[in-house]
Amino acid sequence: MTTPRPETLAKLTPVLTKRWLSPDAWRIGTYEKLDGYAALRKAIKAHPDDLIQLIKDSGLRGRGGAGFPTGLKWGFIPQGDGKPHYLVVNADEGEPGTCKDLPLMTHDPHSLVEGVIIASYAIRASRAYIYIRGEAVHAARRLRNAVNEAYAKGYLGRNILGSGFDLELVVHSGAGAYICGEETALLDSLEGFRGQPRLRPPFPATHGLYASPTVVNNVGTIASVPYIVLGGADWWKTMGTEKSSGPMIYSLSGRIANPGQYECSMGVTLRELLELAGGMKPGHNLKFWTPGGSSTPLLTAEHLDVPLDFEGVAGAGSILGTTATQIFSDQDCPVYATYRWLEFYHHESCGKCTPCREGNYWMVRVYRRILAGQGTHDDLDTLLDTCDNILGRSFCGLGDGATSSVTSSLKYFKQDYLDYIEGRTAPKLSDKQLVGAH
Amino acid sequence: MTTTVFTDETRARAREIIARYPADRSRSALLPLLHLVQSEEGYVSPAGVAFCAEVLGLNKAQVGAVASFYTMYKRRPTGDWLVSVCTNTMCNVLGGQEVYDTLAEHLGVGHDETTGDGKITLEHAECLAACDYGPVMTVNYDFFDGVDPQSAVGLVDELRAGGRPTPSRGARLCTLKEMSIQLAGFADEREGAVADGVPGEPSLRGLRLAQQHGISVPGYDPNTPIRGDKPAPATPAKAAPTGSTAPDVPAPDRKSPQVRTAETRQPDAKTAVPDAPGTKLPVDGVPPAPRDAQAAEAAGVTANPPAGDAKPAGDDAEAQERNLREAESTGRSGGQGSANDKGAQK
Helix H or strand E segment including B207:
helix B201-212
Give pLDDT < 50 ranges for chain B. Answer: 1-2, 243-250, 273-288, 310-316, 333-346
At residue A438 the predicted structure's pLDDT band, cuts being 50, 70 and 90, is very low
Chain B nearest CA to A59, separation (Å): 15
Instruction: Look at residue A432 in the predicted model and tell me its pLDDT.
Output: 64
Domain A247-329 and domain A334-434 have a common topology: no
3-state secondary structure of A170: strand
Residue A253 predicted with pLDDT over 70: yes
pLDDT score, position B279: 41
Q: Round the average pLDDT of chain A to a whole number and report it.
A: 95
Tell me if A177 and B70 make a contact (CB, 8 A cut-off): yes
The pLDDT of residue B240: 62
Which of B327 and A368 is assigned the larger pLDDT? A368
E strands present in A28-85 = none
Which residues in A lie closer than 8 A to residue B268 (C-beta atoms)? 211
Dist. CA A206–CA A76, nearest whole Å? 8
Instruction: Answer with the residue of higher pLDDT: A434 or B64.
Output: B64
- Give dist(CA B264, CA A192) in Å, integer: 10
A194 → chain B, closest CA residue: B66
Give the pLDDT of residue B20: 96
Supply the pLDDT for residue B261: 72
Q: What is the CA radius of gyration of chain A?
A: 22
> Do the beta carbons of residue B160 and residue B120 sit within 8 Å?
yes
The whole-number pLDDT of residue B295 equals 73
Helix, coil or strand: residue A73: helix
Question: Does A98 sit within 8 Å of B127, measured CB to CB?
Answer: yes
B270 touches chain A (CB under 8 A): no
In angstroms, the CA B217 to CA B300 distance is: 66
In this structure, are residues B110 and B87 in contact, taking their beta carbons and an 8 Å threshold? Answer: no
The reported pLDDT for the residue numbered B277 is 42
Give A160-173 pLDDT, tens digit per residue. 999 999 999 999 99
Please check whether residue A330 touches B, CB under 8 A: no
Residues of A in contact with B207 (CB under 8 A): 14, 17-18, 20-21, 261, 263
> What's the pLDDT score for residue A436?
46
Domains identified in chain B and CATH numbers: 8-67 (1.10.10), 81-174 (3.40.30.10)
Check pLDDT > 70 for residue A406.
yes
Strand partners, B124: B85
Q: Which amino acid is at A79?
A: Q
Q: What is the CATH number of domain A7-236?
A: 3.40.50.11540
Give residue A208's pLDDT.
95
Integer CA distances (angstroms), A101 to A190, A219, A221, A222, B137, in order: 19, 6, 10, 11, 18
User: ipTM for the complex?
Assistant: 0.95
CB-CB contact of B2 with A152 (8 Å): no
Q: What is the dihedral of CA B227, B228, B230, B233, to 10 degrees?
A: -40
Taking only the tens place, the pLDDT of each residue in A186-200 is 999 999 999 999 998
Could you read off the pLDDT of B184-213 as tens digits, one per residue?
Answer: 999 999 999 999 998 999 999 999 999 999
The one-letter amino acid code at B282 reads P
Find the angle CA(A285)-CA(A288)-CA(A294) to the nearest 5 degrees.
140
Count of CB atoms situated within 10 Å of the CB of A56: 17
What pLDDT was estimated at residue B312?
45
Measured CA to CA, the distance from residue B67 to residue B63 in angstroms comes to: 6
CATH number assigned to the domain with residue range A247-329, chosen from the 4 options 3.40.50.720, 3.10.20.600, 3.40.640.10, 2.60.40.10: 3.10.20.600
Smallest CA-to-CA distance from B187 within A45, A7, A147, A386 is with A147
Q: What is the spatial distance between Cα A103 and Cα B278, in angstroms, rounded to a whole number?
A: 50
Residue A349 has pLDDT above 80, yes or no: yes
Contact A175 B217 (CB under 8 A): no
Nearest to B219 among A101, A235, A254 (CB): A235
User: For the residues A327-355, what does the mean pLDDT come to?
Assistant: 96
Mean pLDDT of A64-79: 95
Q: How far is B199 from chain A (nearest CA, A)?
A: 7
B88 interface with A at CB cutoff 8 Å: yes
In CATH terms, the fold of domain A334-434 is: de novo design (two linked rop proteins) (1.20.1440)
Domain spans of chain A? 7-236, 247-329, 334-434
The chain B residue lying nearest A22, using CA atoms, is B199
